[in-house]
Structure 1
């Protein structure tokens, strides 16, 4: 089931919300259990055959967590190693078995048949979530073990399919808080606002960029400079708005229940260096890789060489987490290399007293970071290495520079001047060329110059008309704040939502579903 579908918005979500709060007035455990069951239904709507796998994973890790918590210290470590290994083997089988078989066939000339395996959706997210739970249990950071809350923590539908990667300490205490079981006008207003903004990003921007990105990667054909960059930039912004949309919609949906998810996306293309990019892109995955891989490997504690080795190792593993293929390994390796270069430059610039804080340098650094990320996205998106190298060659001018003849006919004598500089003209494609770059400029303007969702809400919130209200609930006086947005804001959000709903004829999956 997709967040951007009629059945989710008009049937599933209203039923889940109404029943949750109806049960919440009677029994909090029943309400939490209902939300967990509804989340399992949400997952099973994609393919019910993988519900037993999800439940088995949850049951195993919950029991393993109890064993780790209750065992003596020497035994606890064995339980931790065993349970983490089990999770990783499960992930390796479903996600990487065929990749390893293909690699063996290529390297050794073997003839192993690939396995008929369908990747269970969301397995990377719920596996990493539970590994973090096991490690934190071993370190004595887990204080709440109610099974219904653990079941809800793992299956919670706003995050189950494509993140964020959650920590138990962020979620399970919220499920134990009685306030989430009472409906709040503020939570509804904020939640629906964020959800509708995310919906608009998905259906009005990301999905409209897709037709201008896909042809380049599906039928490369020696692209010239502008065609290669047009397709790559279209994908760069498609992925940006697609993932930003999912992150917003997940946060908005969760807020309806009074539950706050961690921020997972914060205008990463505004980053002035690659380290900042990873603090803004898929923030919870970056946090997981830092806390459970980079720091255990030693982090930056043992000198520059070990620091760079650890950075490269973590990014290579991060690339493999995204997908089983050489393209993803190269993508992760490129980001590892970018991080090494960045930290080396920071060390050198400090010795040289380089004015890295100047406005001009920050602008140059932001452009350089964005271009580096774009080149890496080529490997992330391409179906194979041959396609990747073909596109990279086009982006670097290896196939020349060409413009549609229709554009050449409209620029008069400038066309002959451009030809003197090696620019050629080809028949057809004029309107598509203009549409592609029009969408790119539009998307870039939003990504680089407008506030993101959390900035928009934060800036707008102080100007809201907050009215104190009260209600008698179970004999207790409860007060809350009612969010009453201005008429102008309400009209804009309503228009945006209407346009989004009118564009839901054929809802498209979110790109991160495949990871």
Structure 2
């Protein structure tokens, strides 16, 4: 079931909220929590009842492992460490089989000629996200940072439908205590209004910007290996993918945060205007913030972090980013994307060191805000090419086009541009009226999205204001959400527009991860 579908907006969500708040009026909150678990399992099972069993088995096994670790931690620390290692290894093995078996088999076949029959393995929805949640829980049990939860609390933590499919990656200690607060089971109009506002903003991002803008990039990347794009097509596709991906995943995160808020639950923010970053280090503090936090706390720091000298820190950074790239997808393009960001981080740290040494000598070699942002964004867009491309050959073809190696444009694109100069009627006769309209909408939304990214406040600033604790100056005060008639009308209009655009429902990009 998709957040941006009629069945979710018109049936699942109102029924789930009604049952939750009616049951929440009872003396015990247990019935409301059971209702929410049942709704979450139905939400997941809507995609595949078969893999619902895998999710339930995973939760049961990890809950039992967590309790065993907590029991052994004081009496037998060595056994507790072995249980943590075994539990993490089992989770990684499960994820590895479903997500990477075909990738490994294809590479072994390419090297040895031996074929393996694993091509039919289907990637279960959300397995990466619920596996990460549970790995963090097991590690925290071993560190003494988790308590012994009831099975109902644990299942609700993992399966809570707003974050189940694609995050944010919420920790047990952030979520479970909120389900123990009696006030969260009462209908609170300010929280519900804020949640609806977040959800509406996410819907608009997805339907008005992400979907049409992303459509500009897909055909270029899909056909790049056979028909190399020119300068115009390559940069348009790279820009469209960069904008489309950001709006797609930030839309999902906004909708997840909003849905949780409707139930009185607060998720951590997941984006903080990442394309305004002044360095790659800054970018990773702003992009997919809960994933960055997970990689830092459960990969980078356990590897040694920056505690063992600069050389070890560089190795740890590179290893973390390579693993982060591989987590996003089973392909060499994702590994290269992660490796590029690892390299960027090493360059960033080296530059910071050079700035510090220059400052000690009384010299200032820092870049201004504008050049720093432009350079950072250029590096990010170049890396996105590998993320977007279906193959290494496609990525290299697009990069060649961006460098001008394939000419200004493909012949067919040059012909379309010449036809467009003759007027809309000539273009419509050549490609069809609907194709012309869709192309105009996509290009128009891309042009609109760029100044929004550069100047407008982000969703948490609009809804939560300064409470969002974002280090951006206050801008566009009229965009600040307040639960008043004007805001209600704007939100209602957004929902009506969304319902009209839901005829062609598109999945969120991060569903494939």
Q: CA deviation at 1:138?
A: 0.9
Listed one character per residue, the Cα deviations across residues 227-260 of structure 1 (whole Å, up to 9, x for unaligned) are 1000111111111110011000000000011010
Listed one character per residue, the Cα deviations across residues 40-90 of structure 1 (whole Å, up to 9, x for unaligned) are 110000011001110111000000000000112121111111111111100
- Does the 8 A contact of 1:144 with 1:172 survive in 2? no
Within a 5 Å distance, the mapping from 1:212-231 to structure 2 comes to 212-220=216-224, 221-231=227-237
Match of 2:111 in 1: 107
Match of 2:500 in 1: 502
Within a 5 Å distance, the mapping from 1:408-447 to structure 2 comes to 437-447=443-453
- Does the 8 A contact of 1:65 with 1:134 survive in 2? yes
Q: Does 1:379 align with 2:383?
A: no
1:368 is aligned, of 375, 378, 398, to 375
Match of 2:427 in 1: none
- Does the 8 A contact of 1:230 with 1:437 survive in 2? no
Listed one character per residue, the Cα deviations across residues 278-319 of structure 1 (whole Å, up to 9, x for unaligned) are 111111111000001100111111111111111100000001
Structure 2 distance, partners of 1:406, 1:65, is 61
- Does the 8 A contact of 2:358 with 2:365 survive in 1? no
- Does the 8 A contact of 1:68 with 1:76 survive in 2? yes
Match of 2:398 in 1: 391
TM-score norm. by structure 1 comes to 0.89
Structure 1 distance, partners of 2:22, 2:164, is 24
Match of 1:18 in 2: 18
Structure 1 distance, partners of 2:306, 2:183, is 42
Q: Does 1:151 align with 2:155?
A: yes
2:267 is aligned, of 261, 266, 271, to 261
Match of 1:479 in 2: none
Match of 1:38 in 2: 39
Q: Does 1:180 align with 2:184?
A: yes
Classify 1:460/1:294 alpha carbon distance in 2 versus 1 (closer, same or farther; 3 Å). Answer: closer
Q: Which moved more, 1:198-207 or 1:211-220?
A: 211-220
Structure 2 distance, partners of 1:113, 1:147, is 37
Structure 1 distance, partners of 2:221, 2:15, is 41
Structure 1 distance, partners of 2:197, 2:440, is 33
Match of 1:513 in 2: 511
Q: Does 1:276 align with 2:278?
A: no
Listed one character per residue, the Cα deviations across residues 163-222 of structure 1 (whole Å, up to 9, x for unaligned) are 111111100101111111111111111111111111111111111112211110112211
Match of 1:98 in 2: 102
- Does the 8 A contact of 2:212 with 2:441 survive in 1? no
Within a 5 Å distance, the mapping from 1:293-332 to structure 2 comes to 293-332=299-338
Structure 2 distance, partners of 1:304, 1:350, is 15
Match of 2:474 in 1: none
Q: Does 1:457 align with 2:455?
A: no
Q: Which moved more, 1:196-205 or 1:110-119?
A: 110-119
Q: Does 1:8 align with 2:8?
A: yes
Question: What SS does the corresponding residue of 1:495 show, helix, strand or coil?
Answer: helix
Question: What SS does the corresponding residue of 1:261 show, helix, strand or coil?
Answer: coil
Structure 2 distance, partners of 1:32, 1:379, is 42
TM-score norm. by structure 2 comes to 0.89
Match of 1:123 in 2: 127
- Does the 8 A contact of 1:230 with 1:436 survive in 2? no
Match of 1:48 in 2: 49
Structure 2 distance, partners of 1:336, 1:384, is 20
Match of 2:174 in 1: 170
Q: CA deviation at 1:375?
A: 1.0
Structure 2 distance, partners of 1:377, 1:494, is 35
What's the C-alpha RMSD, in Å, of the aligned pairs?
2.2
- Does the 8 A contact of 2:202 with 2:255 survive in 1? yes
Within a 5 Å distance, the mapping from 1:228-267 to structure 2 comes to 228-267=234-273
Q: Which has the higher strand share?
A: 1
Structure 1 distance, partners of 2:315, 2:57, is 36
Q: Which moved more, 1:56-65 or 1:440-449?
A: 440-449
- Does the 8 A contact of 1:192 with 1:252 survive in 2? yes
- Does the 8 A contact of 1:270 with 1:448 survive in 2? yes
1:285 is aligned, of 283, 288, 291, to 291
Structure 2 distance, partners of 1:118, 1:374, is 30
Listed one character per residue, the Cα deviations across residues 403-443 of structure 1 (whole Å, up to 9, x for unaligned) are 7457569999xxxxxxxxxxxxxxx7896887654332211
Structure 1 distance, partners of 2:245, 2:493, is 24
2:205 is aligned, of 201, 221, 242, to 201
1:487 is aligned, of 485, 488, 491, to 485
Q: Which moved more, 1:2-11 or 1:432-441?
A: 432-441
**Structure 2 gap segments, 5+ residues each:** 423-429, 469-480
Structure 2 distance, partners of 1:395, 1:509, is 28
Structure 2 distance, partners of 1:319, 1:390, is 21
Structure 1 distance, partners of 2:142, 2:281, is 29
Classify 1:190/1:489 alpha carbon distance in 2 versus 1 (closer, same or farther; 3 Å). Answer: same
Structure 1 distance, partners of 2:193, 2:148, is 30
Structure 2 distance, partners of 1:501, 1:337, is 43
Question: What SS does the corresponding residue of 1:401 show, helix, strand or coil?
Answer: coil
Classify 1:210/1:484 alpha carbon distance in 2 versus 1 (closer, same or farther; 3 Å). Answer: closer
Q: CA deviation at 1:493?
A: 2.7
Q: Does 1:28 align with 2:29?
A: yes
1:338 is aligned, of 317, 337, 344, to 344
Structure 1 distance, partners of 2:119, 2:439, is 42
Q: CA deviation at 1:458?
A: 3.1
Structure 1 distance, partners of 2:494, 2:104, is 46
